[in-house]
Structure 1
Amino acid sequence: AKRLREEHKNGTYIWVDIYTSGSLIDGKPSYWGSAEVGTPEDARDKVNCQIEQGVDFVKPYSELKKDVYLALMDEARQKGVTAAGHVPISVTLDEAVVAGHRIDDHMYGMESLFYTREHADEMRHLFESGKYYEFQTLRIKYRDSILALQNLEKLNDKDIWFCPTYVTSKGTLRIFKKEMISDARNEYVPLVLKYHGMNNSIKDSWAEDNFLNTSRLDSIQFEMDKAEVLKREEQIKMLIKSGAKVIAGTDYIIPYIYPGFSLQEEMQTFARLGMTPLQALQTATINPAQAMKNDKVGEIKVGKRANVLLLNANPLEDIKNAQDIYAVILRGKHLNRAYLDGMLDKAKQLAKAKHIHEWFAPRFESDGIEATLKIFLENKETIDEEYPVRWNMLQSAARMFLRDEKKEEAFALVELMHDLYPDFVYAFAFTGDIFAKGGDKERARATYEKALEIYPCFNVVERWIKDLDEPVAFGQKYNSNEPEILGASIPCMHHNH
């Protein structure tokens, strides 16, 4: 991210403005593998570490304890850094807003608005006492939509923005799976997205989506999914009716999130649920500019940066017309329809690429490791046209070799990846375990230490170093210590159950 921003600044990379939090900050242990904090002092240290690394904001996550979260928010506020991310399960939305939480991802915390403080305390006591049936009974009994709307309206004068990410429903709810598997947009989805590397997987994370493949019967799961869809839509309708500040987002990297397409779909959802087309357009233009306090973009005026979408039809008549694009002007560069079609054709071509394991496997077998690596480095650009050369694809291939008990081949690909991506923390942090599982703890330790050298705020790696003598699976089971009622139902926390 730092390298891309520098290239963007000097004009060699013009395409994207990058605002980054660095790694998310979660409770201890963290769920995804991230920065993790267990005490208020840890939280303050992590905020300052990230500020030193040049973050634009900090990203709190779901499992933070209340006192730890409040310390994190206090330190960020004192240092002039904003917070955008998950409202933790341990706090109410009101408490998060008072603490300075500025962008609420996925509407987490909104559920707390449906209950009085007395009712919430009563339910928390039942939950913590293990009386789950009584807890669920009161949760249904006390849920008050009128109260929630009133509570939302009270937040109108607060600096809180909501990013619903409704489109994640398609990738996290099984009821949509058949529809999404046959979606025409899949022809644009490359392997490098499906093997994104964050879960250290050797499998296609879309075809074998852990969000969708639960053991429940469809008849049961579909009813649960319908209830979840209705809840999400009710919350969005409340945001619209209350006049809350909303920005469009997609939670990209979740299966069945299509870059570009899904943002359009999110705006269409807002219009379907009650926004005017103008309001829906604003969630992806002026609203995020204001949320990020960037006065150079978001509207067409003299003195603003010239990022303009030219359309063939009026989106104020039908929000779907925002997809009928005639041309794009990006920082003064004119991209006509032919150029845009070429980009789409290139995306389709890339989506047909093969897994790089298929290139290495037969050559390792016939030519040996050293000769194969020499051939690869001499022909990397050509190979990339058919077999994507990316850190996550090399990592995935290494894991496939390790699975097949070919550890020397696995180790060779990890070292190759390190040489190609020497400044990328994930290339090191998420590959130390390959050495460990292959029986080389010292190389694992050196890999983890390099990750901390690149990005010292990614302190979960410190735990992985300690765990080398007693390995803990990366996909550790998620165990929440907080009642869900005061925070969110967390679709993106169901991974690896």
Structure 2
Amino acid sequence: MKKSTMIFLSLLGGITVSAQQPADLIITPVKVIDVNTGKITPNQAIVVRHDTILAVTTPQKAKQYIATRTFDGGNHYAMPGLWDNHMHFGGGDTLADENKNFLPLYLAHGITTIRDCSADISQDVLKWREEVNSGQLQGPTIFTSGPKLEGYKSVWLNDLEIGTTAELNQALDSLQRIHVDFVKITDNTIKPELYLEAVKAARKRGMIISGHVPYVLTMQQVTDAGLSSVEHLSYVWKAGVKDEAALSRAIASGDLKGRDINRYILTHFDTTAAMKAYRHMAAKGTAVTPTLSLGKILAYFDQDDHAHDPYLAYIGKGLQKTYEMRVKRVMRDDSAAIAYRKEIYEKESAILPLLQKAGVMIMAGTDAGYLNSFDYPGIGLHRELALMVHFGLTPLQALQASVVNSPVFLHQQRYGTLAAGKRADILLLNANPLEDIHNTEKIQAVVTKGQLLDRATLDQLLNKIKAGNAH
């Protein structure tokens, strides 16, 4: 062999070796869904190292990487892992282990990130958050509010009860010390003026504020104060009446209370007024998490009491006991009350396309967890997405509510797309969810922080939870 040829081959070999980069996982071939645009790119390879996507490229170009594991994508659909942007861990310390079972339950259903909107076991949740982040515990990434802000003698357990500016500042100090991801404020007993002060104070500290809205306040008041997101659609529905300020005054004076408030909204809801209020929300950057699921379950409880749901096998007996309060309350309704609650649910949910049209950022969240009867962690998000589509969003908009809008809300820039530098949280589906939103349930594999869980592994997670609950 000529010396020049030997030198050329030697150089070529050196180039080949140096061009090959180490990776932990390559998934190929797949059809990659860009949830921002709805564009689908076929014949792609996703290259992962640690918890980060190195490249989304062609299978040919992916050969420059040497991976510990290559997974046959089978030309399935790849998209970012789902987010449940409103759930609750809770029910007291004795139910901590049953709550911990939510973690594999979420992963088994393709949900790689959850937002815990406060309950009564915050210390456990904070511990799980850190253990998941450090890799000690397998589960979805957890963002949590810690204990929520409330007034004195609230109905909720283990919240931070405040009645003065000093107590408000102490509460916010305590939340910052435990590094909460956002602040949650609810409307049970907190004084309206302190509610607005709390929103402004938290915003001044650079915190994200999520909340229920006292009915004596208008949507403009809370959005102008700086509320980041409204949790549950009922508060936003109220904002669509012709004169919300007059309604709020009537509620504050006691002239309107209970079911009469919803009757007033039914009678006085006005699309023009609603669009004005919703555009103001959009302009101020106030998002909404509709949580359609629980309302549907309770409104139509006469048609399905869920007592024999197969999914109950995945829910601990202690957590199932927490369902009883809402069940007993809804069982007291007569036929007229049943018809009325269905009408309220349908009218309230019908505002979803108005919010979308107005430019309000909509986030997908279930309200699943403890207390909220038969609103299940895991499968519940798929039902929430289906309800969003049922009430007027496109499948793409519903997916954006989960995968794109939720991380934007929490200022998490490593999520939302499958691209180099993004978090390696990936959902692999057997069918196109843009054609039918129910296809989000056809899960072939899940990648969480770079670790691949194939269908067999996901089934093992489910079976382990079921077996544990059977004892």
Amino acid at match of 2:436: D
Aligned positions of 1:134-173 closer than 5 A: 140-173=266-299
3-state DSSP of counterpart to 2:444: strand
8 A Cα contact 1:277 1:318, kept in partner = yes
Unaligned runs of 5+ in 2: 1-124
Moved over 4 A (4+): 129-141
TM-aligned CA deviation for residue 97 of structure 1: 1.2
* Matching residue of 2:308: 182
Matches within 5 A, 1:311-390: 311-353=429-471
Equivalent-residue separation in structure 2 for 1:90 and 1:56 (angstroms): 28
CA shift at 1:53, angstroms? 2.5
Corresponding residue number in structure 1 for 2:14: none
Is the partner of 1:181 in helix, strand or coil?
A: coil
Q: Which amino acid aligns with 1:3?
A: K
Do 2:301 and 2:330's aligned partners in 1 also have CA atoms closer than 8 Å? Answer: no
Shift of residue 137 of structure 1? Answer: 7.4
Show CA shifts across 1:207-243 (max 9, x none).
x343444574531331122122113322323223333
Equivalent residue for 1:191? 317
SS at match of 2:185: coil
Question: When the two structures are superposed, what TM-score results if normalisation uses the length of structure 1?
Answer: 0.63
TM-score (norm 2): 0.67
Tell me the CA shift for residue 177 of structure 1.
6.4
The structure carrying a bigger strand percent of its residues is: 2
Contact 2:220–2:280 (Cα < 8 Å) also in 1: no
Letter in 2 for 1:147: A
Q: Deviations over 1:15-61 (max 9, x none)?
A: 22221111111122212132111233322221122112221211111
Are 2:445 and 2:455, in contact at CA under 8 Å, matched by a contact in 1?
yes
Aligned position for 2:211: 85
Deviation for aligned residue 1:122: 6.3
In the alignment, structure 1 residue 228 sits paired with structure 2 residue 344: yes
TM superposition shift of 1:110: 1.3
> 2:341 & 2:263 partners in 1: Cα distance?
20
Q: Match for residue 293 of structure 1?
A: 411
CA distance in 2, matches of 1:212, 1:122: 30
- The separation in 1 between residues aligned to 2:421 and 2:318, in whole angstroms, is 38
1:124 maps to which of 249, 266, 280? 249
Flag the 1:350–1:177 CA change in 2: closer, same or farther, 3 A.
Answer: farther
Residues 168-193 of structure 1, C-alpha deviations (whole Å, 9 max, x = no match)? 12454463563422333223222242
Counterpart of 1:272 (choices 379, 384, 390) is 390
1:244 is aligned to 2:352: no
What secondary structure is seen at the aligned counterpart in 1 of 2:423? coil
Paired with 2:256 and 2:421, the residues of 1 have a C-alpha distance of 60
Secondary structure at the aligned position of 2:427 is classed as strand
SS at match of 1:296: coil
Comparing 66-75 and 7-16, the one that deviates more:
7-16
Percent identical? 29
Counterpart of 2:348 in structure 1: which amino acid? R
CA shift in 2, pair 1:322/1:139, >3 Å: closer
Which AA in structure 2 matches 1:240? Q
Pairwise CA RMSD: 2.5
Partner of 1:12: 136
3-state SS in 2 of match to 1:180: coil
Call closer, same or farther: CA 1:147–1:122 in 2, change over 3 Å: closer
| 1-structure distance, mates of 2:408, 2:251 | 41
Asked if 1 retains the 8 angstrom alpha-carbon contact of 2:241 and 2:273, the reply is yes
In the TM superposition, residue 134 of structure 1 has moved relative to its aligned partner by 9.2
Point out which structure has higher relative CO (alpha carbons under 8 A, 6+ apart): 2
Task: Note if contact 2:282-2:359 (Cα within 8 Å) is conserved in structure 1.
Answer: yes
Alignment counterpart, residue 219 of structure 1, candidates 330, 335, 341: 335
**Structure having the larger proportion of residues in helix:** 1
Worse-superposed segment, 169-178 or 152-161 = 169-178
Q: Is there any run of 5+ residues in structure 1 with no aligned partner, and where?
A: 195-203, 354-497
**1:24 maps to 2:142:** no
Which 10-residue stretch deviates more, 302-311 or 6-15?
A: 6-15
Cα displacement string for residues 91-123 of structure 1 (whole angstroms, at most 9, x for unaligned residues):
212111111111211125313422344x63366
CA distance in 2, matches of 1:136, 1:209: 22
